[in-house]
């Protein structure tokens, strides 16, 4: 079971404890809630110093979702687990939308508008030096690094983390092309074939390239057979079920799929394309490694093939947080994942600076309030609302207060504030509208992330 983080009166991390023990400390008034996500308590009185066990933070970076786990290497217990969903694709879409709107505005025949005379314009736009240009990473990719960096810093404040493990490469491309490049343990050991097979499973979406069947044992198939000059290049390999592999034999793929030209075209096109998600991870892997080394902790790296080997050896299911717990050679022989519930984290950002919303053509159609806080709350805060006598708030037209007894109950979720004091709460069961601010109690301030267990 996931443990509860504990810090002492000086905010120094102590050994995580069981949730039942944390409830007892809170009930007896010996501790208080310090943070909700991740749940952390702070002791009210100094206690005798006990030896603090060292923990290891393990990270499995992904294009859409990254896995995070804190593991006790000595006992094999998974203390904490989380899955962090990135917003890289949302950033890419926002930048594309902005580019299109600006391009449309430049080409539009309207009056000339003088550019704002800000300090940035007065000093001029200084071009970065060649070294900075080489190290530049796209914002949509860099957001993944920033998200992981943020959570590494947060977890280090509440847990005694003394080492970090990172999956540096999802697929060891050099190993795939040159099997002897990293020594005999790959060619003759247990990891033989893991890198190539895992890459093909991701690239071909775990289905037979010829018939599309799933959830069956797959064989690595040469698109252009070796008997007729086909190579062992990764671009000439695909996945096939045993039936299709035997049926194809040494036939040319064009003859084998002459009755299915659409599938033939799809296979030939897919074979030449790189794996988009793997490319995104590979673009940020060394930047993330650089950020992790800045913490001053020893950083261990491992490949995706080693992660899968560790997971399959212990018979664990494939999830992002379990993959992160299996990263690196430091993985204990027996991982204890019983009862662990991962914290599902979604990066939402901190809002927008737009002073108005626009339609699909780029013209303003609605106003955004410049006031960020209303009655001490801001949009994105996580609150708990206990409605006892109905909700008193503005009516649909905003003219006079109304009372709605249907909304009596308890709600927990993220809020959207209004100047009228009538808030909307996004709960796990859906959106609840028109909850008065007087019933709301803040339990977690807006930090750019949303949480679900």
In the chain, what is the greatest distance between 2 CA atoms, to the nearest angstrom?
82
pLDDT at residue number 133:
57
* 287 and 166 Cβ atoms separated by less than 8 Å: no
Is 339's pLDDT higher than 60? yes
pLDDT at residue number 346:
93
Section 400-414 average pLDDT: 73
Section 27-55 average pLDDT: 91
pLDDT at residue number 190:
40
Residue 249 Cα to chain centre, angstroms: 42
Rounded-to-integer distance, Cα 285 and Cα 281, Å:
6
pLDDT at residue number 236:
87
pTM metric for this prediction: 0.75
Task: Tell me if the bond preceding 38 is cis, omega within 30° of 0.
Answer: yes
Residue 442: other Cβ atoms inside 10 A = 14
* Residue 339: half-sphere exposure toward Cβ, Cα within 13 Å: 7
pLDDT at residue number 281:
79
Rounded-to-integer distance, Cα 333 and Cα 324, Å:
15
Rounded-to-integer distance, Cα 99 and Cα 258, Å:
43
Residue 164: in which H helix or E strand, if any? strand 161-169
**pLDDT (tens digit, 9 = 90+) per residue, 256-302?**
998 888 888 888 888 877 666 677 777 888 899 999 999 999 999 98
**pLDDT interval class at 176 (50, 70, 90):** low
Q: What is the dihedral of CA 36, 39, 43, 49, to 10 degrees?
A: -150
The domains found in the chain, sorted by start residue, are 5-43 (no CATH), 55-86+142-169+278-347 (3.30.420.10), 174-276 (1.10.30), 369-448 (2.30.30)
Q: Is the dihedral of CA 120, 124, 129, 130 positive or negative?
A: positive
* 267 and 238 Cβ atoms separated by less than 8 Å: yes
């Amino acid at each position: 079971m996931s443990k509860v983080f504990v810090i002492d009166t000086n905010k120094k991390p102590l050994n995580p404890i069981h949730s039942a023990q944390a409830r007892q400390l809170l009930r007896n008034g010996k501790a208080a809630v310090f943070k909700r996500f991740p749940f952390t308590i702070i002791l009210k009185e100094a206690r005798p110093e006990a030896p603090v066990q060292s923990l290891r933070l393990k990270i499995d970076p992904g294009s859409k979702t990254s896995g995070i786990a804190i593991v006790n290497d000595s006992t094999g217990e998974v203390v904490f687990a989380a899955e962090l969903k990135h917003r890289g694709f949302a950033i890419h879409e926002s930048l594309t939308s902005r580019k299109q709107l600006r391009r449309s505005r430049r080409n539009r025949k309207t009056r000339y508008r003088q550019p704002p005379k800000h300090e940035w314009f007065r000093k001029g736009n200084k071009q970065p030096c060649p070294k900075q240009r080489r190290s530049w990473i796209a914002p949509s990719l860099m957001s993944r690094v920033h998200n992981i960096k943020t959570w590494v810093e947060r977890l280090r404040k509440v847990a005694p983390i003394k080492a970090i493990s990172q999956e540096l490469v999802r697929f060891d491309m050099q190993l795939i092309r040159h099997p002897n490049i990293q020594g005999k343990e790959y060619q003759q050991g247990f990891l033989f074939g893991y890198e190539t097979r895992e890459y093909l499973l991701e690239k071909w979406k775990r289905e037979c390239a010829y018939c599309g069947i799933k959830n069956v044992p797959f064989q690595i198939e040469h698109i252009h057979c070796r008997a007729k000059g086909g190579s062992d290049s990764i671009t000439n390999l695909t996945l096939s079920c045993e039936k299709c592999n035997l049926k194809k034999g040494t036939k040319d793929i064009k003859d084998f799929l002459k009755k299915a030209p659409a599938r033939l075209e799809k296979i030939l096109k897919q074979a030449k394309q790189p794996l988009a998600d793997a490319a995104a991870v590979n673009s940020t892997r060394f930047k993330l490694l650089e950020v992790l080394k800045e913490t001053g902790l020893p950083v261990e790296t491992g490949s995706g093939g080693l992660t899968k080997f560790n997971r399959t050896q212990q018979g664990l299911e494939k999830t992002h947080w379990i993959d992160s717990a299996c990263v690196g050679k430091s993985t204990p022989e027996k991982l204890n994942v019983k009862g662990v519930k991962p914290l599902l984290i979604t990066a939402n950002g901190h809002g927008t600076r737009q002073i108005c919303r626009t339609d699909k053509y780029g013209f303003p159609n609605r106003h955004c309030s410049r006031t960020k806080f209303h009655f001490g709350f801001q949009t994105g805060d996580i609150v708990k609302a206990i409605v006892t006598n109905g909700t008193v708030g503005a009516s649909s037209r905003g003219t006079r207060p109304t009372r709605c007894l249907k909304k009596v109950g308890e709600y927990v979720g993220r809020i959207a504030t209004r100047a009228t004091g009538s808030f909307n709460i996004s709960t796990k069961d859906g959106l609840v509208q028109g909850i008065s601010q007087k019933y709301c109690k803040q339990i977690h301030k807006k930090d750019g992330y949303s949480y679900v267990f």
